[in-house]
Every structure is written in structure tokens, then in C-alpha cells.
Amino acid sequence: MPDRLSSPYDLLLCRPGAEPEFLEECDTLHGLRGRTAGPGMIMLPPGKLPAASLIFERQRMPGARLLTLPEGANIPPAAAEALWSSWTAEPMPWGMHLIAAEEESGGLSRRLQGVAREFIRHGEALVPGLRKWERKPEKLLRDAKGMILQLLLCREGLWVSAAPAAALTAPVPGGRFRMKMDPEAPSRSYLKMEEALVRLGIEPAEDERVIDLGAAPGGWTYAFAKRGCFVTAVDNGPLKLSTAAVRRVEHLHRDGLTFKVPHHLPPVDWLVGDMLIPPGKAFGVLKYWVGGRHCRRLILNIKLPQEQPLPALLPILEWIRSRGAFEVRQLYHDRREVTVYGSLTL
């Protein structure tokens, strides 16, 4: 093995700071022992990951190898050759995702562009016709075809993974679903809802009925009202909505934990909830709305406790597994929280 090149690992990306609960998830739920590789990165023995994405996983880089690369150093030809040698002899479409480990660090992002160019130059010398097969990664990921080359630059060096598009868990670099803020949205929580809708893959339709528990100041309510839905916003706090959005919103100053619907009414189209409550209480909300089949779709945010977040989630995971097409994920826009989203089969 050339100097400065690690053996392969499955490198998994998560929210920086969520590494302990992510490692615990891998160990407790999948029997996989890993360790932290840096902020927002954990490394696991290769080839053992379940196909479905994990709760705290933003993206995976299967078979990734770390090339130690001090600032200003070039990629050693022997290392480049070793990395490109895993590239298939058969020509096939490929695309590239570039990831700077620390998003806020402009320095790392700039350096990454140069390192990526250098890495590709080596590839062109080693793999004839390489550029001819380059495609937009979005298309390859949409069609689950070809290979995705992921280059992640961190302080220690460059992680390189080449894996089939179908093996990745998110269609965006680093699993960073960066949503665009709407200047009329009353809170940044709006971004969480936009991301949850993208991940769910369902666009709310005009005139659908929505109940939003813990709605104030109104980011989630706004996301539905701007699409022409009718929203019942439940919260004792004030909403800060524009006049246009407010026309489609009924504000109830009530407790979202005890808010119920009459049994004879058909299920509401959407139940969404973002209350600042412990996971046990959120579980009660889930049981009422999903167990009682009072909604067709649900997006529920669960705040994680400081201590032992995974044990707090386990009963919810266990219960939701048999209830239809539901996912539990830490969204890119989530903080110390995870989101349950999905549809009921009615």
C-alpha cells in the first residue's frame, strides 16, 4: 500500500456533533463497531452496511480511503494510481461529488477544487477516455446508474470513494439538503419542512387540510399555506404570517398534546408537529395520529434529550416499523432532533 494511503472503510457522514449517537446507532441496531474519523464523520469496517439509510446518516462513502495530504502537498503518483486502480476496466458513466468536511471553512472548499482537478488529471493519465464518460451526478443518482466519485477534503487529507450510484443514500453532495429560505417565511424552521417534503417526495396539493401542532411563529404553517393548503395552526404562541398566508390559516390557542379530531371526520391530509416536548410525549402524539389513523401523512419532529438520545428513540422506532412507509432521519436542517415522516396505508 503506498505511503499515506489508508485501507478502505465505509465512511459515513452525519451532523457534526452527532457522532456519539450515530456510533451507538451502528452498534446497537446493526452490530457495527466504528469510530469517529473527524467532525461529522464516522468510519466502519467496509462492506457491512445495511442498504437502507441510518437515522443519523447524511451520506455514505463506501470503501473510502484516506490520503494524508498536508496543505500545499501534491497527490503522490503512487497513491493516485492505487486509488484509480480500483476504477473499473470497463468504461462506464461517472459523476463527482465534492465535499468540504467543514462547511463553514471557505479555505477547505477552495483547496478542494484544486485537489479535485489534480486528482482527475491523474485519472486521465491512468484511465484512457475518462472524461468522455463524465456525466452530471444528479442524473446518475436519479437513474441509479454508473459510478459516483466522492472526494471529501478534511484537515487530515482527502477521503476518496468510488461507488455505484445506487449505493449512495442521498442524491446531493455530503447529504446536505440545503433548502432555499423564503424571505416571507416567519422562521428558519421553514427549511426543515421544505427538506422533509423533498425527502418524502410528496408535494402538498391545493386545498389539502393540514394540522400543525406547535406552529408558532409559523414557518411550517407558511410552507403549506403558500401551496394553497388550509392549515389549522395549534399553538399558544403568536403566528407571524403575511396577510396573504393568513387567509388560509385558522389559529387555535390550544395544547397540541391533547388536541384531538372528532372520530367521524375523514383523516386529515397532513399532520405536522414541531412542539418542544420530550420524546415520550412526541410518541404519544404519534400513537394518537398514526395509530388512530387520523391523518394520511405525517411529519413529526422529535427533540432529542441531552442524555442518551438513542434509548429515547428506540420505542418509537420499534413501534413505527410496522405502521407503513415511515422514515426516521436526522434532516440536514435538524439540530438536536430527528424527524419522522411518511404516509399511512389507509
Ligand X SMILES: C[S@@+](CC[C@H](N)C(=O)[O-])C[C@H]1O[C@@H](n2cnc3c(N)ncnc32)[C@H](O)[C@@H]1O
- Least separation in angstroms between residue 281's CB and ligand X is 8
Q: Does 157 bind ligand X (CB under 6 A)?
A: no
- Report CA dihedral (38, 39, 45, 46) to the nearest 10 degrees: -110
Q: Does 189 bind ligand X (CB under 6 A)?
A: yes
Choose one: 63-71, 75-83, 271-279, 334-342; the region binding ligand X (CB under 6 A): 271-279
Q: Give the footprint of ligand X on residues 247-266 (CB under 6 A).
A: 255-257
Q: Is 180 a catalytic residue?
A: no
For ligand X (CB under 6 A), the number of binding residues is 23
- Report CA dihedral (259, 261, 263, 269) to the nearest 10 degrees: -130
Comparing CB distances to ligand X, the nearer of 148 and 234 is: 234
- Least separation in angstroms between residue 174's CB and ligand X is 25
Choose one: 15-23, 232-240, 244-252, 326-334; the region binding ligand X (CB under 6 A): 232-240
Q: Does 274 bind ligand X (CB under 6 A)?
A: yes
Comparing CB distances to ligand X, the nearer of 276 and 346 is: 276
Q: Does 123 bind ligand X (CB under 6 A)?
A: no
Strand 268-273 relative to strand 209-213, pairing: parallel
Q: Does 112 bind ligand X (CB under 6 A)?
A: no
Task: Residue 285: count other Cβ atoms within 10 Å of its Cβ.
Answer: 23
Q: Does 277 bind ligand X (CB under 6 A)?
A: yes
C-alpha–C-alpha distance, residues 33 and 25, integer Å: 10
**Strands (DSSP E) found in the chain:** 9-13, 35-38, 41-44, 59-68, 94-100, 147-154, 157-164, 209-213, 230-234, 249-252, 268-273, 295-303, 325-329, 337-343
Q: Does 214 bind ligand X (CB under 6 A)?
A: yes
Do residues 276 and 237 touch, judged by C-beta distance below 8 A?
no
What residues contact 222, with CB distance under 8 A and at least 6 apart? Answer: 182, 184, 185, 186, 190, 241, 242, 245
Task: Output DSSP code: residue 16.
Answer: T
Q: Does 10 bind ligand X (CB under 6 A)?
A: no
Choose one: 74-82, 84-92, 155-163, 228-236; the region binding ligand X (CB under 6 A): 228-236
Comparing CB distances to ligand X, the nearer of 66 and 249 is: 249
Q: Could you give the maximum distance between any two Cα atoms of the chain, in Å?
A: 71
C-alpha–C-alpha distance, residues 231 and 246, integer Å: 9
Q: Does 218 bind ligand X (CB under 6 A)?
A: yes
Where b means 16+ CB within 10 Å and e means fewer, 114-132 reads ebbeebbebbeeebeebee
Choose one: 270-278, 292-300, 318-326, 335-343; the region binding ligand X (CB under 6 A): 270-278
Candidates 303, 336, 317; CA nearest to 54 is 317
Q: Does 217 bind ligand X (CB under 6 A)?
A: yes
Q: Does 276 bind ligand X (CB under 6 A)?
A: yes
Q: Does 173 bind ligand X (CB under 6 A)?
A: no
- Least separation in angstroms between residue 217's CB and ligand X is 5
Residues that bind ligand X (CB under 6 A): 186-187, 189-190, 213-220, 234-237, 255-257, 274-277
Which positions are annotated as active-site residues?
303
